[in-house]
Amino acid sequence: MNLKTYLTTRAKDVDAALDAFLPKAKERPATIHAAMRYSVFAGGKRLRPVLCLAAAEACGGEFSRALPPACAVELMHTYSLVHDDLPAMDDDDLRRGRPTCHKVYGEGMAILCGDALLTEAFIVIGQTVATKRYNTRDYITELAVTGGSRKLIGGQVMDLEGEGKKLTKRDLVRIHEAKTAALLMTSLRLGAMTANASPAKLEALTLFGHALGLAFQVIDDILDVTQSTEVLGKTAGKDQAVEKSTYPAIIGLEASRKEAVRLTAVAMDALNPLGKSAERLREVATNLLKREF
Ligand code: GRG
């Protein structure tokens, strides 16, 4: 299967599983369920689920066993986007090419929608089948730590507190590690755990996820400057407009491109212990750099 077909197929598998996991749109109270589905099925790339499934495959696991964590990480990701778009946070009107959740359903409902998606992520991760090395508690803890105040939420805190300040590259790396790389890393780790991955393989994927996550955010920062709102599906030039510290703002566009290439190479090196079985993950990393994703 070529990469394009693989990505489309896996995204469809994930969408079908998410559809089965989520409450139906008409289930009462219907507004919250409609809002959850509006946000989840808005056309995201499904990068985190794809990484989860590809990591399971790279470690010799079964795709079906990795589906619950693949859906759980997407639910957590979608919650973070819904909350990030709120007026009290990034205050955005457009996400995944559509009006943001609070624009359609109102602020109160969008807050509850994010809360419900986050809670649903834990219902879903709880359905992951244990292996010899990893039990249900391990999966839940992995996801909870990433969603908590040391990672995702901590990254958002650092981001909020950094507004209007001139951050250093080191500050920026810290924010990106927590806000972006952590969930990518956990997506890979959870997939590998469903395949009963050895500690060495888990470590290799952790290092891969760290470097790939940082590369992904640098590329995202570059695209914010170079692409249109239509292409991005979210408001382009937003970072510059609010004078946010980003890679292009701190080190310039060309140096940012070089940094994305360097980080992708670091990610590739990290996969060496996995040999040929990690070919799909290498393809995904290469394509992220090109952003044909
Ligand atoms: C807890 C409110 C709260 C936030 C946590 C993760 C996060 C912090 C906020 C999300 C917003 C954001 C800009 C995160 C950076 C990572 C990033 C570039 C997300 C976009 O991911 P894509 O491109 O999105 O994979 P799609 O729509 O394709 O899923």
Tens of pLDDT along the chain (293 residues) come to 999 999 999 999 999 999 999 999 999 999 999 999 999 999 899 999 999 999 999 999 999 999 999 999 999 999 999 999 999 999 999 998 899 999 999 999 999 999 999 999 999 999 999 999 999 999 999 999 999 999 999 999 999 999 888 899 999 999 999 999 999 999 999 999 999 999 999 999 999 999 999 999 999 999 988 888 887 777 777 777 677 789 999 999 999 999 999 999 999 999 999 999 999 999 999 999 988 55
DSSP 134: -
Mutate to test the pocket of ligand 1, among 156, 161, 176 (most ligand atoms within 8 A of CB): 156
Within the chain, residue ranges assigned H as helices are 3-21, 30-40, 47-58, 63-84, 101-105, 107-125, 136-147, 152-162, 169-176, 182-194, 199-226, 229-232, 238-241, 247-251, 253-270, 279-290
Contacts of 123 (CB under 8 A, 6+ apart): 21
Evaluate: CB of 47 within 6 angstroms of ligand 1. yes
Where along the chain do its domains lie? 3-289
Does the C-beta of 155 come closer than 6 Å to ligand 1? yes
**Residue nearest (by alpha carbon) to ligand 1 atom 17:** 180
Return the residue matching tokens 């105040």. 149
Is 156 close to ligand 1, i.e. is its CB under 6 Å away? yes
The CA distance from 134 to 67, in Å, is 16
Does 13 contact ligand 1 (Cβ within 6 A)? no
User: Does 209 sit in the ligand 1 pocket, CB within 6 Å?
Assistant: no
Q: What is the largest CA-CA distance in the chain?
A: 52
pLDDT at 236: 77
User: Ligand 1 pocket, 78 CB below 6 A?
Assistant: no
Q: Is 270 exposed, middle or buried (0-12, 13-18, 19+ CB in 10 A)?
A: buried
Q: Residue 79 C-alpha to ligand 1 middle, in angstroms?
A: 9
The amino acid that residue 106 corresponds to is: G
Residue 234: predicted pLDDT: 76
Among the atoms of ligand 1, which is closest to the Cα of residue 47? 25
> What atom of ligand 1 comes closest to residue 114's alpha carbon?
2
> pLDDT value at position 24?
97
The answer to whether residues 165 and 244 touch, using CB atoms and an 8 Å cutoff, is: no
**What is the third-level CATH fold of 3-289?**
Farnesyl Diphosphate Synthase (1.10.600)
Angle between helices 63-84 and 182-194 (to 10 degrees): 160
Spatial separation of the C-alpha atoms in residues 35 and 59, rounded to whole Å: 36
